[in-house]
Amino acid sequence: MSIEICIINPYPSAISNEKIKNCALKVSCKDSSLFINKKNSQEDYFDLHSESINISKLVKVVEINNSSDAFIIVSFEDIGVDTIRKITSKPIIGLGEASFYTANMIANKFSIITNLSHSHEALKNNLIKYDMDHKCVSIKSIEVPVLDMETMSKSNLIKLDSEIQRTITEDNPEAIIITSPCIYNLSKNLSKKFNIQIIEGITAATSLMENFAKLDLQIKKIAPKPSRNFGIPI
Protein backbone atom coordinates (compact mmCIF):
# COMPACT_ATOMS: atom_id res chain seq x y z
CA MET A 1 0.00 0.00 0.00
CA SER A 2 1.55 3.27 -1.15
CA ILE A 3 1.21 6.14 1.32
CA GLU A 4 2.06 9.80 0.79
CA ILE A 5 2.89 11.85 3.87
CA CYS A 6 3.10 15.63 3.53
CA ILE A 7 5.57 17.10 6.01
CA ILE A 8 5.00 20.81 6.58
CA ASN A 9 8.06 22.67 7.85
CA PRO A 10 7.23 26.18 9.16
CA TYR A 11 10.90 27.10 8.76
CA PRO A 12 11.77 25.55 5.38
CA SER A 13 15.37 25.72 4.26
CA ALA A 14 17.45 23.41 2.10
CA ILE A 15 19.43 22.19 5.11
CA SER A 16 16.50 21.64 7.47
CA ASN A 17 14.30 20.02 4.79
CA GLU A 18 17.04 17.57 3.86
CA LYS A 19 17.60 16.65 7.51
CA ILE A 20 13.87 16.23 8.13
CA LYS A 21 13.42 13.96 5.13
CA ASN A 22 16.49 11.87 5.95
CA CYS A 23 15.27 11.51 9.52
CA ALA A 24 11.76 10.45 8.44
CA LEU A 25 13.22 7.96 5.95
CA LYS A 26 14.93 6.16 8.85
CA VAL A 27 11.56 4.76 9.96
CA SER A 28 9.25 5.02 6.93
CA CYS A 29 8.35 2.02 4.79
CA LYS A 30 9.85 1.59 1.34
CA ASP A 31 6.50 2.07 -0.38
CA SER A 32 5.80 5.36 1.43
CA SER A 33 6.57 8.70 -0.20
CA LEU A 34 7.48 11.83 1.74
CA PHE A 35 6.86 15.37 0.52
CA ILE A 36 8.23 18.47 2.29
CA ASN A 37 7.12 22.01 1.47
CA LYS A 38 9.77 24.28 0.02
CA LYS A 39 10.47 27.87 1.04
CA ASN A 40 8.69 30.47 -1.05
CA SER A 41 11.19 33.22 -1.81
CA GLN A 42 8.39 35.77 -1.50
CA GLU A 43 7.69 34.83 2.12
CA ASP A 44 9.69 35.14 5.31
CA TYR A 45 9.98 32.29 7.76
CA PHE A 46 6.87 31.81 9.84
CA ASP A 47 6.84 33.90 13.00
CA LEU A 48 6.06 31.74 16.03
CA HIS A 49 4.83 34.84 17.85
CA SER A 50 2.21 35.53 15.15
CA GLU A 51 0.07 32.43 15.35
CA SER A 52 -2.65 33.62 12.94
CA ILE A 53 -0.11 34.06 10.15
CA ASN A 54 1.38 30.67 10.88
CA ILE A 55 -1.97 28.93 10.75
CA SER A 56 -3.13 30.61 7.54
CA LYS A 57 0.05 29.57 5.76
CA LEU A 58 -0.11 26.05 7.14
CA VAL A 59 -3.73 25.71 6.03
CA LYS A 60 -2.76 26.85 2.54
CA VAL A 61 -0.09 24.15 2.28
CA VAL A 62 -2.60 21.48 3.38
CA GLU A 63 -5.19 22.67 0.86
CA ILE A 64 -2.63 22.56 -1.96
CA ASN A 65 -1.55 19.04 -0.99
CA ASN A 66 -4.97 17.65 -0.06
CA SER A 67 -4.31 14.43 -1.99
CA SER A 68 -1.76 13.37 0.65
CA ASP A 69 -2.75 10.56 3.00
CA ALA A 70 -1.45 12.22 6.18
CA PHE A 71 0.20 15.42 7.37
CA ILE A 72 2.97 16.23 9.86
CA ILE A 73 3.52 19.75 11.20
CA VAL A 74 7.17 20.28 12.17
CA SER A 75 6.31 22.20 15.33
CA PHE A 76 6.69 21.02 18.91
CA GLU A 77 4.09 23.59 19.92
CA ASP A 78 1.71 21.84 17.45
CA ILE A 79 0.84 25.20 15.90
CA GLY A 80 -2.16 24.99 13.58
CA VAL A 81 -2.94 21.31 14.16
CA ASP A 82 -6.37 21.90 15.76
CA THR A 83 -7.39 24.33 13.01
CA ILE A 84 -6.28 22.02 10.21
CA ARG A 85 -8.20 19.10 11.73
CA LYS A 86 -11.36 21.14 11.12
CA ILE A 87 -10.75 21.32 7.36
CA THR A 88 -9.55 17.78 6.65
CA SER A 89 -10.43 14.27 7.78
CA LYS A 90 -6.89 13.09 6.99
CA PRO A 91 -4.62 12.16 9.92
CA ILE A 92 -2.48 15.11 11.05
CA ILE A 93 -0.13 15.52 13.99
CA GLY A 94 2.52 17.89 15.34
CA LEU A 95 5.86 16.83 16.76
CA GLY A 96 4.78 17.60 20.31
CA GLU A 97 1.67 15.42 20.33
CA ALA A 98 3.50 12.59 18.53
CA SER A 99 6.35 12.66 21.06
CA PHE A 100 4.03 12.86 24.08
CA TYR A 101 2.00 9.84 22.97
CA THR A 102 5.15 7.88 22.17
CA ALA A 103 6.62 8.68 25.59
CA ASN A 104 3.35 7.73 27.26
CA MET A 105 3.50 4.27 25.70
CA ILE A 106 7.00 3.46 26.95
CA ALA A 107 7.28 5.38 30.23
CA ASN A 108 5.23 6.22 33.31
CA LYS A 109 6.96 9.59 33.55
CA PHE A 110 8.98 11.64 31.11
CA SER A 111 10.85 14.93 30.83
CA ILE A 112 11.15 17.41 27.96
CA ILE A 113 14.28 19.30 26.93
CA THR A 114 13.53 22.23 24.64
CA ASN A 115 15.70 24.60 22.65
CA LEU A 116 14.36 27.78 24.25
CA SER A 117 12.43 28.44 27.44
CA HIS A 118 9.83 30.67 25.73
CA SER A 119 8.15 27.50 24.42
CA HIS A 120 7.48 26.12 27.91
CA GLU A 121 4.07 27.73 28.35
CA ALA A 122 2.75 26.37 25.05
CA LEU A 123 4.07 22.90 25.85
CA LYS A 124 2.47 22.97 29.31
CA ASN A 125 -0.88 23.96 27.81
CA ASN A 126 -0.65 21.18 25.24
CA LEU A 127 0.28 18.59 27.87
CA ILE A 128 -2.88 19.53 29.76
CA LYS A 129 -4.94 19.40 26.55
CA TYR A 130 -3.63 15.91 25.72
CA ASP A 131 -4.09 14.71 29.35
CA MET A 132 -0.34 14.17 29.65
CA ASP A 133 0.52 16.79 32.29
CA HIS A 134 0.51 14.19 35.08
CA LYS A 135 3.13 12.16 33.16
CA CYS A 136 5.58 15.01 32.52
CA VAL A 137 7.90 15.58 35.49
CA SER A 138 9.92 18.50 34.08
CA ILE A 139 10.55 20.84 31.16
CA LYS A 140 14.06 22.23 30.76
CA SER A 141 15.95 24.16 28.05
CA ILE A 142 19.42 24.37 26.57
CA GLU A 143 18.78 27.95 25.31
CA VAL A 144 20.00 27.30 21.77
CA PRO A 145 17.80 28.45 18.83
CA VAL A 146 16.43 25.65 16.63
CA LEU A 147 18.25 26.86 13.52
CA ASP A 148 21.54 26.91 15.44
CA MET A 149 21.10 23.21 16.20
CA GLU A 150 21.29 22.41 12.48
CA THR A 151 25.09 22.57 12.65
CA MET A 152 25.31 20.43 15.81
CA SER A 153 28.42 22.25 16.99
CA LYS A 154 30.52 20.80 19.78
CA SER A 155 29.41 23.51 22.21
CA ASN A 156 25.73 22.79 21.51
CA LEU A 157 26.25 19.07 22.00
CA ILE A 158 27.97 19.76 25.33
CA LYS A 159 24.98 21.85 26.43
CA LEU A 160 22.60 19.06 25.44
CA ASP A 161 24.65 16.41 27.24
CA SER A 162 24.79 18.55 30.36
CA GLU A 163 21.03 19.16 30.37
CA ILE A 164 20.25 15.47 29.89
CA GLN A 165 22.46 14.56 32.85
CA ARG A 166 20.89 17.29 34.99
CA THR A 167 17.41 16.11 34.05
CA ILE A 168 18.19 12.52 34.96
CA THR A 169 19.75 13.53 38.29
CA GLU A 170 17.04 15.99 39.34
CA ASP A 171 13.86 14.45 37.92
CA ASN A 172 14.56 10.73 37.39
CA PRO A 173 12.39 10.37 34.24
CA GLU A 174 11.99 7.07 32.39
CA ALA A 175 12.24 8.79 29.00
CA ILE A 176 13.32 12.18 27.68
CA ILE A 177 11.81 14.06 24.75
CA ILE A 178 14.23 16.37 22.95
CA THR A 179 12.46 19.01 20.88
CA SER A 180 15.35 19.65 18.48
CA PRO A 181 14.16 17.97 15.25
CA CYS A 182 16.21 15.63 13.08
CA ILE A 183 18.46 14.17 15.77
CA TYR A 184 17.53 10.51 15.18
CA ASN A 185 21.12 9.25 14.95
CA LEU A 186 22.18 11.44 17.85
CA SER A 187 19.22 10.30 19.95
CA LYS A 188 20.29 6.68 19.57
CA ASN A 189 23.79 7.51 20.75
CA LEU A 190 22.45 9.56 23.65
CA SER A 191 20.14 6.71 24.69
CA LYS A 192 23.12 4.39 24.96
CA LYS A 193 25.32 6.98 26.65
CA PHE A 194 22.81 7.87 29.38
CA ASN A 195 20.92 4.55 29.49
CA ILE A 196 17.54 6.20 28.96
CA GLN A 197 15.04 6.32 26.10
CA ILE A 198 15.45 9.51 24.02
CA ILE A 199 12.48 10.41 21.83
CA GLU A 200 12.84 12.47 18.65
CA GLY A 201 9.73 14.07 17.12
CA ILE A 202 10.18 13.53 13.37
CA THR A 203 10.52 9.76 13.60
CA ALA A 204 7.74 9.49 16.20
CA ALA A 205 5.34 11.49 14.01
CA THR A 206 6.29 9.63 10.81
CA SER A 207 5.69 6.23 12.38
CA LEU A 208 2.33 7.27 13.84
CA MET A 209 1.00 8.91 10.67
CA GLU A 210 2.14 6.06 8.45
CA ASN A 211 0.23 3.56 10.56
CA PHE A 212 -2.86 5.77 10.84
CA ALA A 213 -2.93 6.10 7.05
CA LYS A 214 -2.53 2.33 6.59
CA LEU A 215 -5.47 1.73 8.93
CA ASP A 216 -7.50 4.25 6.91
CA LEU A 217 -8.48 6.08 10.09
CA GLN A 218 -10.06 9.51 9.70
CA ILE A 219 -10.53 12.38 12.11
CA LYS A 220 -13.88 12.38 13.90
CA LYS A 221 -13.96 15.11 16.54
CA ILE A 222 -17.47 16.54 16.69
CA ALA A 223 -18.30 16.71 20.39
CA PRO A 224 -16.32 19.12 22.60
CA LYS A 225 -13.57 17.53 24.64
CA PRO A 226 -14.76 16.69 28.18
CA SER A 227 -13.11 18.45 31.09
CA ARG A 228 -11.35 16.57 33.87
CA ASN A 229 -10.33 17.30 37.43
CA PHE A 230 -7.18 15.27 37.91
CA GLY A 231 -3.51 15.47 37.02
CA ILE A 232 -0.47 16.99 38.66
CA PRO A 233 0.21 20.62 37.68
CA ILE A 234 3.67 21.20 36.20
Same domain, 101 and 190: yes
Same domain, 116 and 105: yes
Same domain, 18 and 80: yes
150 belongs to a structural domain: yes
Tell me the CATH number at 62: 3.40.50.1860
229 belongs to a structural domain: no
Q: In Å, how far are 19, 55, 90, 165 from 144, measured between CA atoms?
A: 18, 25, 34, 17
225 belongs to a structural domain: no
Q: Are 87 and 59 in contact (CB under 8 A)?
A: yes
Same domain, 83 and 101: no
Question: 44 is in which domain, residue-wise?
Answer: 3-95+203-214
Same domain, 76 and 154: no
Residue 222 confidence (pLDDT): 55
Question: What b/e sequence results for 13-34 when a residue is b if at least 16 CB atoms lie within 10 Å of its CB, and e otherwise?
Answer: eeebbebbbebbeebbeeebeb
Residue 53 confidence (pLDDT): 52
Same domain, 67 and 33: yes
Same domain, 103 and 124: yes
Residue 81 confidence (pLDDT): 92
Same domain, 107 and 46: no
Residue 224 confidence (pLDDT): 56
**Domain count along the chain:** 2
Per DSSP bridges, beta strands 110-114 and 70-73 are unpaired
Residue 44 confidence (pLDDT): 47
145 belongs to a structural domain: yes
Same domain, 65 and 103: no
Q: What is the mean pLDDT of each run of 10 residues along the chain (234 residues)?
A: 87 82 89 80 47 72 91 92 90 95 96 92 94 95 78 83 96 94 81 95 94 82 55 47
Same domain, 90 and 107: no
Residue 41 confidence (pLDDT): 43
Tell me the CATH number at 108: 3.40.50.12500
Q: Are 111 and 170 in contact (CB under 8 A)?
A: no
